[in-house]
Amino acid sequence: MYRLLSAVTVRAAAPGGLASSCGRRGVHQRAGLPPLGHGWVGGLGLGLGLALGVKLAGGLRGAAPAQSPAAPDPEASPLAEPPQAQSLAQWSPQTPAPPHSRGFARAIESSRDLLHRIKDEVGAPGIVVGVSVDGKEVWSEGLGYADVENRVPCKPETVMRIASISKSLTMVALAKLWEAGKLDLDIPVQHYVPEFPEKEYEGEKVSVTTRLLISHLSGIRHYEKDIKKVKEEKAYKALKMMKETVAFEQEKEGKSNEKNDFTKFKTEQENEAKSRNSKPGKKKNDFEQGELYLREKFENSIESLRLFKNDPLFFKPGSQFLYSTFGYTLLAAIVERASGYKYLDYMQKIFQDLDMLTTVQEENEPVIYNRARFYVYNKKKRLVNTPYVDNSYKWAGGGFLSTVGDLLKFGNAMLYGYQVGLFKNSNENLLPGYLKPETMVMMWTPVPNTEMSWDKEGKYAMAWGVVEKKQTYGSCRKQRHYASHTGGAVGASSVLLVLPEELDTETINNKVPPRGIIVSIICNMQSVGLNSTALKIALEFDKDRSD
């Protein structure tokens, strides 16, 4: 540093150095001012030297070794990646934490760790989560990649397929029409859609109604076209469930005398024989069904009916539960006829009302910002892009794109409508819900003869799966009441879960709806079960709120 300052000073004092080159001295003399002495030149040189010295010192400090960043999280991506690729995910920009999240640091850390584990177990490229507490978003974050090829990290704004959560969105359209008196849930669907033929089951004329379609009790098929396989599978499941129920009841009663033991042994032998005889053959899963990969563009819901309208019913309407996305294609046609609008136009009006501005039908042509790519593992266990599909035949049952933020808004709107009736007496200034309280109660009431495939404790209601509050033994497991819907599409999995706060007339003072936890998770990998993960996350946040 001393040598540098000396050199600059000498250069400034020398003829033709910095002082003369800048022309400042000549200007000074031409202005008629006294000539500048050598002291001025030395001062200028010293000043410039000090300035350069400070700059050089700053540069040297910047060149000093910085603190090394934390080691990359091995669960940041389940794929085998070089360290450079992992560091991109680590340093990807994150949305600042909302101010409401400060009291949930423990729940966020615990839930993030859980999501990393799930992501690592299934090998998902990316996953996005959002959580709201009492109507306020407290956490949203993306893990991994929305686009593996271009190393685009997931973020809260990432848009993905929400698959069968689309059914819950369609239910809002049906409910609004029912509330307005434009739709009767219990008359034959031919009243609205005469293009759908009247049906018979085993030679008997039967009626398919809107209510039966909503709860998957219509008998209309899903992607599996083989009636025999479906019936065998249903019979096998029913027998298995009966055996489990009998075993549980016997254990609960605690009967262990010799006579009961003999009867139990005989029953087990008979049931085992029945099971062997009735066990179904190997049935294709949904992702092996050709119709899931349709590429044909359908202009409207009526046109989509030709895929299944002439197929026979698999069961008598109302008798058995058979999950059917095609049933919701028929519901979309009913929405069109009852509302007088195209299905998508009517849904976009609903999305505007709910402030779900990033929720749209999936189409290939439009530019949709932040849209993720979708992935699957091939037979060699390599990650590949999913094939192109056109979901226009099933927009109502599984064809929308959305973000976790929009799904949280939707969940809160449903929870508000469900709870606002309880608060009306204590707070008359509350705005009405998007749906009436009695409508929401109807939608979240379990329907007999239904199943909830993602939680065997629950039943299907009206476009939602519902688990009711239950506790069998004191100081033991307490089952919370919640509503949810999962989704599975080509290259995507999703869940939206609503955990209402347990309220009574004594605890609602100084509170306003919605009261509860909403969790939404979307993932760009198919066949990822997310409901139990969402429930665990909801309970973590509920615990922090209680504390």
Average pLDDT over residues 215-219: 98
Query: Is it the case that residue 9 has pLDDT exceeding 80?
Result: no
CA-to-CA distance for 121 and 198, rounded, in angstroms?
47
Q: Measured in Å, how far apart are the chain's first and last C-alpha atoms?
A: 60
Nearest alpha-carbon partner for 173 in 293, 336, 15: 336
| pLDDT at site 225 | 85
- Structural contact between residues 468 and 483, judged by C-beta atoms closer than 8 angstroms: no
**The one-letter amino acid at 407:** L
CA dist 344 → 182, 241, 458, 506 (Å): 18, 40, 31, 43
Nearest to 355 by CA among 70, 104, 135, 84: 135
**What pLDDT was estimated at residue 278?**
47
Check if the beta carbon of residue 20 is closer than 8 Å to that of residue 45.
Answer: no
Handedness of CA 477, 480, 483, 485 (dihedral sign): negative
Half-sphere exposure of 106 (CA within 13 A, CB side): 10
SS3 39: helix
296 token code pair: 């044909």
Distance of CA 430 to the CA centre of its chain: 29
Active site annotation includes 77: no
Largest CA distance in the chain: 129
- Residue 482 host element (H or E): strand 482-489
pTM: 0.76
Q: Determine the pLDDT at residue 40.
A: 39
What is the 8-class DSSP label of residue 371? B
Q: What tens digit of pLDDT does each residue of 506-540 get?
A: 778 788 999 999 999 999 999 999 999 999 999 99
Measuring CA to CA, how many Å separate 418 from each of 292, 336, 354?
34, 26, 15
Helix (H, G, I), strand (E, B) or coil at 387: coil
Sorted by where each starts, the structural domains of the chain and their CATH numbers stand as 105-164+371-470+477-545 (3.40.710.10)
Which candidate in 164, 392, 494, 520 is catalytic? 164
* Cα–Cα distance, 500 to 518 (Å, whole number): 8
For 371-430, the pLDDT digits (tens) are 999 999 999 999 999 999 999 999 999 999 999 999 999 999 999 999 998 887 767 789
3-state helix, strand, coil in the chain (%, to 5): 45, 15, 40
Residue 254: pLDDT band (50, 70, 90) is low
d(CA 121, CA 527): 12
pLDDT band at residue 271, thresholds of 50, 70 and 90?
low
Identify the CA nearest to 213 among candidates 183, 237, 235, 234.
183
* Contact (CB, 8 A) for 204 and 312: no
